[in-house]
Amino acid sequence: MHQFELTDDQLQIQEMARKFTADAILPFAAEWDEKHIFPKDTIRAAAELGFGAIYVSEESGGIGLGRLDAALIMEAMAYGCPSTSAFISIHNMASWMIDRFGSDEVKQKYLPSMITMERIASYCLTEPSSGSDAAALKTTAQVNFDEVRVPVANRVGAEGEGFRIAMMGLDGGRLNIGACSLGGAQRCLDEAVKYTKDRKQFGTPIADFQNTQFMLADMETELQAARYLLYVAAAKVTANAPDKTRFAAMAKRLATDSGSSIVDRALQLHGGYGYLMDYPIERFWRDLRVHSILEGTNQIMRVIVSRDLLRQ
């Protein structure tokens, strides 16, 4: 069984992320959503735990963990707020690319403030003529300046390598977004179990109805299947396995489709209350729905998988 179990170190990382979420994210996430607050202080508190540079090397000031460790952290934080976890995921993807491909000058200039998340990174992939077709990007820089020259010293990687580097970053980004869906789906499944035990119809808790039991059983089965495929894919990306990109695409597709479906059924089990902001389900429904679009649409994930299969 050992190959299917988390190590002691991974369990400690997971517990640390869960405790941070319980203390610093879960009690405040509904207010952030309602009042459109971007929680900078909370994000920087996460960085104090190393969550701003999860797989940035220790030599560069990061905590140098693997992609499974990162997925555990993202999943735990998404239990409180998937969108906050996704912000941190994208920041980590950009930080890793600078650490992995940037010159010493670029790393020294940007990484210290990125590790603390005083400087928050983004990843631009969508424009009017591009998105799913990433190779069709026409923008040649993240911001348009007038008569400003960007020095070669600020370039990440060699000339012409930008697209390859950007695509490599997406393998990890897809795992993290998938992990965010897992965390959000787990939260909604837990909420649905609790609600159906308390909610009565015709004098009976709706958890006693076989239809409810079947729905919950399917939600749990699909969640666990998606979780373990994602963990395997994370191990492959860490090991730089030849099929890492295919597994990352499969895991992202399954985790985000399953997560969205699980949250949808959790909302159904809550009935009309599922739409009210008094309950967290409607917020998670909105947050997880976008995951099938982020980091490459799930239709593009299928293209990646099928191309790799047909190439064999």
Name the CA dihedral angle for 40, 46, 51, 53, rounded to a multiple of 10 degrees.
50
Alpha helix ranges (H) inside the chain: 8-20, 29-35, 40-48, 67-78, 82-101, 104-115, 162-198, 210-238, 244-270, 281-289, 298-311
Q: Where in the chain is the domain with CATH 1.10.540.10?
A: 2-147
Which residue among the candidates 75, 222, 282, 295 is catalytic per the annotation? Answer: 295
- Residue 129 scores a pLDDT above 80: no
Dihedral sign (CA 226, 259, 190, 192): negative
CATH 1.10.540.10 fits 2-147, yes or no: yes
Cα separation, 167 vs 271, in Å, equals 41
295 is annotated as an active-site residue: yes
| Among the listed residues 194, 181, 204, 196, the one whose alpha carbon sits nearest the alpha carbon of residue 262 | 181
- Name which residue leads in pLDDT, 64 or 294: 64
- Residue 121 scores a pLDDT above 60: yes
pLDDT band, residue 122 (cuts 50/70/90): confident
| 180-224 tens-digit pLDDT | 999 999 999 999 999 999 998 899 999 999 999 999 999 999 999
Mean pLDDT of the chain: 90
| 63-97 tens-digit pLDDT | 999 999 999 999 999 999 999 999 999 999 899 98
| 236-270 tens-digit pLDDT | 999 999 999 999 999 999 999 999 999 999 999 99
- Mean predicted confidence (pLDDT) in 264-293: 93
Q: Where in the chain is the domain with CATH 1.20.140.10?
A: 163-311
pLDDT band, residue 115 (cuts 50/70/90): very high
CATH code assigned to 163-311: 1.20.140.10
Cα separation, 226 vs 207, in Å, equals 24
pLDDT at res. 127: 67
